[in-house]
Structure 1
Amino acid sequence: MSSRILPPSGPPRVLALAQLANAFGDGAYYVCSALYFTRIVGLTPTQVGSGLTLGWALGFLAGVPLGHLADRRGARGTAALLAVATGTAVGSLLFVRSFPLFVLAACLYTCCQCGLGAARQALLAGLVERAERTGVRAHLQATVNAGLAVGAALGGVALHLDTRQGYLAVFAMDALSFLVSALVLLRLPAVPSSPPAPAGEPALAVLRDRPYALIALLNMIMLLYMPLLSLVIPLWIVQRTQAPSWTVSALLVLNTLSVVLLQVRVARRVSGLDTASRSVRHAGLVMLASCAAFALSAAGPSAWAAGAALLVAACLQVLGEMMHTAGSWEIGFDLAPPDRQGQYQGFFGAGTAVARMLGPLLLTALIVTWGPPGWFLLGGLFLLAGSAMGPAVRWAERTRAAASTAGPLQPVPSLDPAGAYRRASR
């Protein structure tokens, strides 16, 4: 079991422990935050939603410059600093008593979170060989999901108590988890900072990389599955099917355990850009089938029939999710210049912020309001985005080959932090 979750010893395992410590607090926070702000603080759901939307919009903008900071100042120190800043942002939520303070704290939290994600990815790219990055990232994903599950159980205790003190204890635990994560990150070897961009070249080169921008856009469309399990599917089950309400919890457990147990195995099939593109394309097909099954669950004549359709749909959904993530990790890492991983990962990871920002509103209107036709339209979007990923990746490869032929400076071999001589790119 541990081999399916924890990566090999060395820097990958330290990275996993850092994110595991953080995942415990995040799992409890995700379960409790909405109810705390509405029931205890007294904000309306609309205020909570609008504050988070604004926050993730700013996070989307902050990811690239903070990732660039990780490139220029060192990924390890930047990641640790942003972990402390994120913990501070979560801690500030303990003192929120009004909507303006909530918006301010939410914006600080989302900006730091997006920057932390970019810095962590740059740190992984600097410490792990190129051929091993997707496998290590799969281990990290399994580790995080295991931590989130445990944290969610702890958050359930606070929900049961339903007191201000219980909710505040969860927020304090999450803030502390970021500080512990920062201390663990400091145990990693330092990654050398990248030199400044040559004269005449933009510092944020990713903003002019059109093939990579297209790939990030397609990835963002695929990431629309993120709000499904947390918001859309629960509403769909309660309002549109005859399945019992506890089905929501069962599907969440199924998703979490599947990622913990199977993500590493799915990622083993990805070993380069060709297999990564194929994995994303197949993910689009699987997600289309999942959406069709969700749509059919509304037509179930009984609770058992609806439950069976939902079970099939959830299994297909988590399979498509794992196939997509494995392929997207490989693509996002491989097409980024070795000395600019931070800003490129910040740009690529911005799709997560956009999915969290626009996904709930878009998918609620599309699926919960419109019904089964909305599911088929969403499935078609997944299919088109997954199918377009291959041509987009090949376009990016051609532009990089053309730039290399034109005679840019080639990356030179460097010493990795462990002292082993390796090439910066292959």
Structure 2
Amino acid sequence: MANTSLPVEHVGDGLRTARAPRAPRALLLAQGSNSIGDGAFYVTSALYFTEIVGLSAARVGAGLAVAWAVGSIAGVPLGALADRRGPRGTSALLALVTALAVASFPLVGSFPAFLAAATLYASAQTGLAAARQALLAGLVAPAARTAVLARLQAVLNAGLAVGAALGGIALHAGTRGAYLTVLALDALGFLLCALLLARLPAPAPAATGPVPESRRSGWGADVLRDRPYVLLTLLNAVMLLRMPVLSLALPLWITQRTAAPGWTVSALFVLNTVAVTLFQVRAARSVTGTDTAVRAVRGAGAVMGAACAVFAVTALPGLGAGPAVLVLVLGSVLLVAAETRHSAGSWQLGLGLAPADRVGAYQGFYGAGVPVARTLGPLVVTTLLVGGGPAGWLLLGGVFAAAATATGPAARRAARPALRPAPVPAR
């Protein structure tokens, strides 16, 4: 296969494409534009649908679980669409569809309508993530991708924090108008994102010569035949169980199993958000290839295991409120260190080990770990931790360490060309 990398030049903290020297900046602006609205939406959506629309909490939870399950499946064909039709146009289109999905929420008045709108939202979001990755792969040189992704993550966290603060204002007001303002902000954010992505240059084709038949009429199903990559994706999904640990398990654990005051929950969330925003780029600097990515993930698994052991200590009898808070802060610092290292290694492996002409489909599959962690993760972590107590923390820490250790062999197998499946011709 011909070398498909675009010409590169040294700029700032890494390499970037000479053809699209401003691509990283535009991608950052696009990320920031929709993350602020999303932050406001995330903190207000549950109360909007229960208090304003009138749905029960159980129906809202079930609808979101179904929506994200469908979205995780839709990511592969939507990513394949980016491979076939071009990631720039596809990502802009999916950002526009996401904006339309958000704009449809004020029209929701029943559970079926909510389920339809939420499914469209989740599917478009998942497909957008895959198409964006394919767009980044086409516009940013391989040596700079992890650094750019780290900056995108930092912008995402900062945007979510700003959006959450705006959402807090809407929650304080508690009126229908306040909630509708949040929805309008989120829809406008995705509309601006679509405009910014559409203005980027089209990436060069990933391969020269005739377009493979699988790219003309296939929908990315060949990723399921790539067993090393499938295994890598499953291991990454296990590592992503760290997400409900912060958002769900720790709040329940703190209030039910420790002497720490309730405000500790919000304090730890702020600590995590600020720390990831400040240190994600630094954590990604040493990740430049498969070997360094494997080391980052393996180290992250070990640190996650240590964080789980620290959290288990907070349930010891006689541990007062002050010491409990200090131990929880220590565990949260370890969790941040693990999160930033795992993110950097995961980005490099997921993007770097995807075939150049099928990045969208592969990223659609790899990215399914996020909605899976969002839907199944709460059940897993609450069963282990709230039900199992300190032993559950130790077991979860062992699972993290085992998954991280297994990532190395899986990544090395996925990097061997002889083990990669050929594109499946359409029938």
With the length of structure 1 as denominator, give the TM-score of the two structures.
0.90
1:227 aligns with 244
The amino acid across from 2:228 in the alignment is P
Instruction: Name the CA distance, whole Å, in 2 between partners of 1:307 and 1:403.
Output: 49
Q: Are residue 308 (structure 1) and residue 320 (structure 2) matched?
A: no
Does the Cα contact within 8 Å between 2:414 and 2:420 map onto a contact in 1?
Answer: no
Instruction: Name the CA distance, whole Å, in 1 between partners of 2:196 and 2:419.
Output: 41
Does the residue aligned with 1:191 lie in a helix, a strand or coil? coil
Instruction: Name the CA distance, whole Å, in 1 between partners of 2:192 and 2:419.
Output: 45
Instruction: Name the CA distance, whole Å, in 1 between partners of 2:145 and 2:98.
Output: 25
Does the Cα contact within 8 Å between 1:76 and 1:123 map onto a contact in 2?
Answer: yes
Which of 159, 168, 186 is equivalent to 2:180?
168
Does the residue aligned with 1:271 lie in a helix, a strand or coil? coil
Which of 199, 207, 212 is equivalent to 1:197?
212
1:424 aligns with none
Query: How big is the shift at 1:230?
Result: 1.7
The amino acid across from 2:296 in the alignment is S
1:419 aligns with none
Q: Are residue 177 (structure 1) and residue 189 (structure 2) matched?
A: yes
Q: How many residues align?
A: 401
2:304 aligns with 287
1:322 aligns with 340
1:108 aligns with 120
Does the Cα contact within 8 Å between 1:72 and 1:193 map onto a contact in 2?
Answer: no
Does the Cα contact within 8 Å between 1:197 and 1:203 map onto a contact in 2?
Answer: no
1:253 aligns with 270
Instruction: Name the CA distance, whole Å, in 1 between partners of 2:96 and 2:111.
Output: 24
Q: Are residue 277 (structure 1) and residue 294 (structure 2) matched?
A: yes
1:342 aligns with 360
1:370 aligns with 388
2:403 aligns with 385
Which of 113, 132, 149 is equivalent to 1:120?
132
Identity %: 59
The amino acid across from 1:16 in the alignment is L
Matches within 5 A, 1:26-105: 26-105=38-117
Which of 217, 223, 231 is equivalent to 1:206?
223
Q: CA RMSD in A?
A: 2.1
| Structure 1: stretches of 5+ with no match in the other structure | 410-426
2:34 aligns with 22
Does the residue aligned with 2:127 lie in a helix, a strand or coil? helix
Does the Cα contact within 8 Å between 1:74 and 1:192 map onto a contact in 2?
Answer: no
Instruction: Name the CA distance, whole Å, in 2 between partners of 1:332 and 1:257.
Output: 25
| Deviations, residues 244-279 of structure 1 (Å, cap 9, x unaligned) | 111111111111111111001100111110110011
2:5 aligns with none
Does the Cα contact within 8 Å between 1:270 and 1:326 map onto a contact in 2?
Answer: yes
Instruction: Name the CA distance, whole Å, in 1 between partners of 2:211 and 2:70.
Output: 25
Does the Cα contact within 8 Å between 2:300 and 2:341 map onto a contact in 1?
Answer: yes
Instruction: Name the CA distance, whole Å, in 1 between partners of 2:120 and 2:420.
Output: 38
In 2 relative to 1, CA 90–202 (structure 1 residues): closer, same or farther, beyond 3 Å?
closer
Instruction: Name the CA distance, whole Å, in 1 between partners of 2:58 and 2:408.
Output: 39
Instruction: Name the CA distance, whole Å, in 1 between partners of 2:105 and 2:278.
Output: 34
Query: How big is the shift at 1:298?
Result: 2.0
In 2 relative to 1, CA 373–122 (structure 1 residues): closer, same or farther, beyond 3 Å?
same
Query: How big is the shift at 1:164?
Result: 1.6
1:421 aligns with none
Query: How big is the shift at 1:322?
Result: 0.6
Instruction: Name the CA distance, whole Å, in 2 between partners of 1:402 and 1:55.
Output: 34
Q: Are residue 216 (structure 1) and residue 216 (structure 2) matched?
A: no
Does the residue aligned with 1:252 lie in a helix, a strand or coil? helix
In 2 relative to 1, CA 190–288 (structure 1 residues): closer, same or farther, beyond 3 Å?
same
The amino acid across from 1:145 in the alignment is N
Which of 152, 156, 161 is equivalent to 1:140?
152
The amino acid across from 2:263 in the alignment is W
2:198 aligns with 186
| Deviations, residues 71-116 of structure 1 (Å, cap 9, x unaligned) | 1101011000000101111111112222221111111111101000
Instruction: Name the CA distance, whole Å, in 2 between partners of 1:350 and 1:27.
Output: 21
Show structure 1 runs of 4+ deviating over 3 A: 192-196, 198-203, 401-404
| Deviations, residues 364-407 of structure 1 (Å, cap 9, x unaligned) | 22212322222111111101100000011111123x15669xxx
Instruction: Name the CA distance, whole Å, in 1 between partners of 2:224 and 2:87.
Output: 20
In 2 relative to 1, CA 322–199 (structure 1 residues): closer, same or farther, beyond 3 Å?
closer
Instruction: Name the CA distance, whole Å, in 2 between partners of 1:71 and 1:330.
Output: 19
The amino acid across from 1:298 in the alignment is A
Q: Are residue 360 (structure 1) and residue 375 (structure 2) matched?
A: no
Matches within 5 A, 1:231-242: 231-242=248-259
Which deviates more from structure 2 when the two are superposed, residues 30-39 or residues 250-259? 30-39
1:423 aligns with none
The amino acid across from 1:256 in the alignment is T
In 2 relative to 1, CA 207–369 (structure 1 residues): closer, same or farther, beyond 3 Å?
same
Does the Cα contact within 8 Å between 2:76 and 2:219 map onto a contact in 1?
Answer: no
